[in-house]
């Protein structure tokens, strides 16, 4: 039997782990759904609407930002968050391909 050698790009693999970890958390999914429904939005509106502590919300947004799932920009004193739909779409496609869907 012939063995197939699998070559992995460690950098891409680490990013894939970070991305799937970011997307696999129920609270982060809730935050993403809220941003998706409301468009570009500041952190104050997110934590107030979802009845979360500001520090918890910022922590989860930092993880999403680190995985490039959300983008942020500063407007005055506020951080405005938006979903990076290209990254989310690629993640969904990769999972679907892996699952054979």
Instruction: Give me the CATH topology for the region 12-89.
Output: Arc Repressor Mutant, subunit A (1.10.10)
Q: What residue spans define the domains of the chain?
A: 12-89
What is the residue-wise DSSP string for 6-72?
----HHHHHHHHHHHHHHT-HHHHHHHHHHHHH-SEEHHHHHHHTT--HHHHHHHHHHHHHTTSEEE
Question: What pTM value is reported for the model?
Answer: 0.85
Task: Give the pLDDT confidence of 4-47 residue by residue, as tens digits.
Answer: 777 778 888 888 888 999 999 999 999 999 999 999 999 999 99
């Amino acid at each position: 039997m012939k063995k197939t050698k699998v070559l992995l790009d460690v950098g891409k693999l680490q990013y894939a782990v970070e991305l799937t970890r970011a997307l696999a958390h129920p609270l982060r999914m809730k935050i993403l759904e809220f941003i998706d429904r409301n468009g570009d939005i500041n952190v104050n509106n997110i934590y107030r609407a979802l009845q979360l502590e500001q520090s918890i919300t910022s922590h989860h947004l930092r993880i999403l930002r680190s995985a490039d799932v959300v983008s942020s920009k500063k407007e005055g004193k506020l951080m405005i968050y938006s979903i990076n739909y290209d990254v989310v779409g690629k993640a969904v496609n990769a999972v679907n391909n892996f699952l054979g869907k």
